[in-house]
Amino acid sequence: MADITKRSVDYSRWYLDVIQAAELAENSPVRGCMVIRPNGYSIWEMMQRWLDDRFKELGHVNAYFPLLIPKSFLAKEAQHVEGFAKECAIVTHSRLKTVEVDGKITVVPDPASKLEEELIIRPTSETVIWDTYRKWIQSYRDLPVLINQWANVMRWEMRTRLFLRTAEFLWQEGHTAHATAEEAREETLKMLECYRWFAEDILAMPVVCGAKTPRERFAGAVETFSIEGMMQDNKALQAGTSHDLGQNFAKAFEVKYQTSEGTEEFVWATSWGVSTRLIGALIMSHSDDAGLVIPPKVAQRKAVIVPIWRDDEGRDLVLAKAKELQEMLKPAIGFVQIDDRDNMRPGWKYAEWERKGMPIRIELGPRDVANDACVLATRHDGQKHQTPLSDLVSAVTGHLDRMQTELYEAALKRRAENTHRLETWEEFTALYEGPGGFAHCHHCGDTACEEAIQTETKVTIRNIPLDAEAEDGQCIRCGKPSSKRVLFAQAY
């Protein structure tokens, strides 16, 4: 196992090393795609469980729409096609045939199977879903439609990074239809709040909720909202988005309903999503030079028992006790693995479980068995706690709760230390030539000014925070009047 590059040496390298060391994912034979390994996928499964339960509590149901979309669908909403056309994979044929080239058998698309209408691999599902909703929605009695789907999508990105930006990724996309603009806006903000809750309470990652500027808006949305987290290198990561689509898609796909008064109206729409990018966010929020650190709420397995022995007698004794502990812990935290591999010594196992981010490690040797105790090690702070076996269950659950809280508090503290209110362009450029971070500044709202800031400093407006207070000021760059502060940062 190669050593993990230190964060302080090379943050990007560290990020990739952690993914490799914790066996989360690896590159696939196809550029830009990734194999998500069991350790990584288990995190996604935990995320799915929390979110899916919450979506359903909020009244949504799941459905599944197809991977392939007729090419013509994408052209129906003007902004939408402009936003996604450049990154679509296209299916042109339905068969291969074998041919011999230079004495070798190879396969080529069979020209006879060329598709009459080419198909697009979905970069997002608005179009096929709205085409379907047209058939489902007739009356105000059919509204609202509150559907979510768990799916893969593909966006042919130029430059990719495991989890943060991959050509294919897994996500959920909610697509809702409403009778009024107010109701759609309410849904948009409700789901944004759902994402805030998930990021902060489950992922232990504080986020800033706000509205995107027009140039950062989703292609086809009237208004886009996002949650933005701060990574350990002080860069921002957009961790979830919720869009108010207005009537754009309803008009493009002619989705109308009859009101109780008998008039005909276009419906109002939202869409919202989070993706496997959140796994990247998680890594970059909490992990350290020893490897992965994740909050217990998304750890499928919360603890491992590492038995220690010197001889066969000790081995029998310790393993028997370990099995007792395993049974004892099961009702509280589920399956706990006993790492009884005897081709490696305890020190190796400690290091390995630390790399993989196991929240709690229970060390159990003959001495502990004799004392009715064990050593309980917590991953996030590296501490060891001598623990009587009679207190084990409460100690474990207590440490898990503490870990969840402390990870959030540490992330919050780090964000606070790297968040600034700036008034002048000199302060602004100095911040981003130096350590970087979040900057709350006034901005004129002009897109050209926003672009100039990005060109000059690589800093973008992440969002306009929902809790920004009205305050008269002057644009950080051009000095024109502004009525509230926006959030600036360098972003992934």
- 303-307 and 337-338 beta bridge pairing: parallel
- 34-36 and 25-27 beta bridge pairing: antiparallel
**Stretch 98-137 residues interacting with RNA (CB under 7 A):** 124
Tell me the CA distances in angstroms from 229 to 167, 275, 382, 428, 492, one per residue in order: 22, 14, 25, 20, 11
Which one of residues 35, 45, 53, 86 is an interface residue with RNA (CB under 7 A)? 86
CB 489 within 8 A of CB 236: yes
CB 133 within 8 A of CB 177: yes
Stretch that binds RNA, among 24-32, 41-49, 138-146, 248-256 (CB under 7 A): 24-32
| Closest CB to RNA among residues 382, 479 | 382
Residue 470 CB coordination number (10 Å): 7
CB 337 within 8 A of CB 305: yes
- Residue 310 carries which DSSP code? S
Contacts 24+ apart (CB under 8 A), 415-420: 415/206, 415/230, 418/230, 418/234, 419/230
Min dist CB 136 to RNA, Å, is 25
| Closest CB to RNA among residues 248, 275 | 275
Which one of residues 13, 114, 385, 413 is an interface residue with RNA (CB under 7 A)? 13
Which one of residues 126, 168, 288, 363 is an interface residue with RNA (CB under 7 A)? 363
Min dist CB 274 to RNA, Å, is 5
Stretch that binds RNA, among 67-75, 128-136, 151-159, 329-337 (CB under 7 A): 151-159
CA geometry: angle 218, 219, 223, nearest 5 deg = 45
Q: Is 8 in the site for RNA (CB under 7 A)?
A: no
Which one of residues 374, 400, 411, 439 is an interface residue with RNA (CB under 7 A)? 374
- 256-258 and 207-211 beta bridge pairing: unpaired
Q: Is 274 in the site for RNA (CB under 7 A)?
A: yes
Q: What are phi and psi of 329, to 5 degrees?
A: -85, -25
Q: Say what the alpha-carbon torsion angle 231, 237, 242, 248 is, to the nearest 10 degrees.
A: 170
Q: Is 408 in the site for RNA (CB under 7 A)?
A: no
**Stretch 156-215 residues interacting with RNA (CB under 7 A):** 157-159, 161, 165, 171
Stretch that binds RNA, among 88-96, 200-208, 272-280, 465-473 (CB under 7 A): 272-280
Which one of residues 59, 66, 382, 388 is an interface residue with RNA (CB under 7 A)? 382
CB 136 within 8 A of CB 146: no
Binding marks (x or -) toward RNA, 465..484, rule CB under 7 A?
--------------------
- Residue 142 carries which DSSP code? G
Query: How far is the C-alpha of 338 from the C-alpha of 305, rounded, in Å?
Result: 5
Q: Give the three-class secondary structure for 203.
A: coil
| Closest CB to RNA among residues 143, 464 | 464
| Closest CB to RNA among residues 256, 402 | 402
Residue in 80, 268, 274, 77 with CA at minimum distance from that of residue 187: 268
| Closest CB to RNA among residues 56, 86 | 86
Count of residues making up the chain: 492
Min dist CB 223 to RNA, Å, is 14
Stretch that binds RNA, among 58-66, 176-184, 366-374, 480-488 (CB under 7 A): 366-374
Q: Give the three-class secondary structure for 160.
A: coil
Binding marks (x or -) toward RNA, 339..358, rule CB under 7 A?
---xxxxxxx-xxx-xx---
**Cis peptide preceding 388, ω within 30 of 0:** no
Q: Is 392 in the site for RNA (CB under 7 A)?
A: no
Q: Is 315 in the site for RNA (CB under 7 A)?
A: yes
- Residue whose pair of structure tokens reads 């709420």 in the numeric block: 297
**Stretch 229-248 residues interacting with RNA (CB under 7 A):** 238-241
Residues in touch with RNA (CB under 7 A): 1-3, 12-13, 16, 27, 31-32, 83, 86-87, 124, 155, 157-159, 161, 165, 171, 216, 219, 238-241, 273-275, 277, 290, 308-311, 315, 342-348, 350-352, 354-355, 363-369, 374-375, 377, 382, 384, 458
